[in-house]
Amino acid sequence: MQSLELLDEFIALADSGRLFLSMDKAWNSDFRQGLGKAVGELLFHQRAELERSRGIDWVYGIFRDRLALFEKIAGGDSEDGAAMEAKLFLAMLPFPGQWSWLERLAAEYGYLPEVAAFFHHERRVIRKKIEKKSYKRFRLRNFCQILKPHGLPREKGVLRIFSIPYFFPLVPELLETIGRHYVLYVEPAAGITFRHTWMRYFSHLKDPVLFGLSSSEDRDFVLGQPNTAATHLAHGDYLDARTQVPLHGEVRFDIVFNNTFDERDRKRHSLMLDLMDHPGLQNVRVLFMGRGTPDTVADFKSEIEKRGLGTRTTVLANLLRSQVAEHLAHCRMGVHLALMENGCRAVYEYFRSDLPCVMSTATAGMDPSIITPETGILATDGDLPGAIRRVLDRERDFFPRRWFLEKSGCFNATEQLNAQLKTLFHSQGYDWQEDIVTMTSSGVGRYADPRDLERFAPDFERLAALFRNIPDLPIRLDAG
């Protein structure tokens, strides 16, 4: 792979010292940009191949093992060209402490074309994410949830930020104001957080921000940055354990694949179709569920027909979340193949409905420890057909719902998060007189008890007032 070759070249140049002999700034800049793209390709699109060849941690190890070397050179004479180049490498690539180096560049060298271009691109990506949202009038509860009211001056509140946390770097003064009232619990929308340098704004606050990141890969990277804390709890961990739907109905499908149709490359729908053609799986019936625009759903149905798989597939698009469980009751197992997630809700829905799951080890942003002998099989891409066949042949050997009720779900996860937040509060010298309320991963306000939304109405209004003090926000807000 070309990406591997580029990183190998970086290793050779850095370790031999030749990297800092060249003062060709244009070449160095192009090299850094190429390295950044190579890291992204390897840890995302080429993740399965990287896992087979050198291992996922190999990429992070390149930068971790050379941190001391680059910091030593960066600490040299400020007029030394090598020192400047070392700082740029530290800031532009996923070294431990990268966010701090980015801050230094912004303050001292923002005029440099390479630095200015980096920050311009970052803001453009954030604005595109917001513009891509289907609705432009956001209520606070669409992306914020008060978990604990503040009782200043002695006790801060807790604010959960989900869905669009990338909005806040556009208005850092708002983030700073919120941080005076609340300790923040932030759940990034997806994994592989080395790509999300905008999260460094959360590390500016007085108190460490608690990031909810399912994978140890992401937690390790974030914990290598300043003023951060991390928990494995995120999104799907807070699935409501209660369901009124019978668990096992008439079997209509062997496999369920629940992922958005709008991001088929990331979710790897085509790989699932490939698996249906495998000799050991040529009779399986698959239910595809997910959200999607009419065009993307139609494109996927067209792909199914072109492959001749129409008689063995069913596509259900844009169901209400409350309808998902009734369809899962007619399935035997789930399969999850996405390249990037953060605590994907669908896998936990399988477990809640007593469906074992086969999950690809190439999935970033998930906690592989949730796949146990009770819940399913974790398999490399090459081993997926055999793993799926094994689960279908002995599905009665798995007890995913039992695991879910004992280890996961909104009540268990909230209790665990409460303990971690309490520890964080005490480490900062704050009182802890009131626990957080039980949360879920969806629903009105994401509260397990709907009355909490009404109970926190005055707090939401005070929070909305902070937003209204900031002119020209890119989105409209109200408290309800």
pLDDT, residue 456, reads 92
Residues in contact with 75: Cβ distance below 8 Å, sequence separation at least 6, in sequence order: 83
What is the average pLDDT across 299-326?
95
DSSP 200: G
Average pLDDT over the chain, rounded to whole?
Answer: 92
Q: How far apart are alpha carbons 325 and 349 in whole angstroms?
A: 7
Considering the entire predicted model, what is its pTM?
A: 0.93
The CA distances from residue 185 to 12, 106, 182, 353, in Å, are: 40, 26, 9, 28
pLDDT, residue 209, reads 97
**Statement: residue 374 has pLDDT above 70:** yes
What is the average pLDDT across 192-214?
95
Strand partners, 333: 255
**Statement: residue 159 has pLDDT above 90:** yes
What is the average pLDDT across 169-176?
91
pLDDT band at 347 (very low <50, low <70, confident <90, very high): very high
360: Cα separation from own chain's centroid = 16
Provide long-range contacts, Cβ within 8 A and 24+ apart, for 173-177: 173/470, 174/466, 174/467, 174/469, 174/470, 175/201, 175/202, 175/204, 175/205, 176/204, 176/205, 177/466, 177/469
Omega before residue 208 within 30° of 0, cis: no
What is the average pLDDT across 84-88?
94
pLDDT, residue 480, reads 60
pLDDT, residue 135, reads 66
pLDDT, residue 244, reads 62
Find tokens 């209520």 and name the residue: 139
Residues in contact with 131: Cβ distance below 8 Å, sequence separation at least 6, in sequence order: none
Kindly compute the dihedral angle of the four CA atoms of residues 407, 408, 414, 416, in this order, to the nearest 10 degrees. 30
Minimum mean pLDDT among 184-188, 212-216, 326-330, 468-472: which range?
468-472
**Statement: residue 322 has pLDDT above 90:** no
DSSP 123-163: HHHHHHHHHTSS--EEEGGGTEEEEE--BTTTB-EEEEE-S
DSSP 443: S
What is the average pLDDT across 260-277?
96
What is the average pLDDT across 37-41?
96
**Which of the given ranges, 412-416, 451-455, 458-462, has the highest pLDDT on average?**
412-416
What is the average pLDDT across 143-171?
90
Domains located in the chain, CATH noted: 2-128 (no CATH), 135-238+409-478 (no CATH), 253-407 (3.40.50.2000)
pLDDT, residue 479, reads 64
**416-444 pLDDT, tens digit each:** 999 999 999 999 999 999 999 999 988 77
pLDDT, residue 79, reads 65
DSSP 442: S
pLDDT band at 369 (very low <50, low <70, confident <90, very high): very high
Strand partners, 331: 253
Number of other CB atoms surrounding residue 344 within 10 Å: 24
Percent with pLDDT over 90 in the chain: 79
Q: How far apart are alpha carbons 228 and 233 in whole angstroms?
A: 15
**Statement: residue 113 has pLDDT above 80:** yes
pLDDT, residue 241, reads 83
**Statement: residue 242 has pLDDT above 80:** no
Q: How far apart are alpha carbons 98 and 409 in whole angstroms?
A: 34
Find tokens 């591997």 and name the residue: 4
pLDDT, residue 445, reads 80
**Statement: residue 1 has pLDDT above 70:** no
Residue 288 in contact with residue 299, Cβ under 8 Å? no
3-state secondary structure of 468: helix
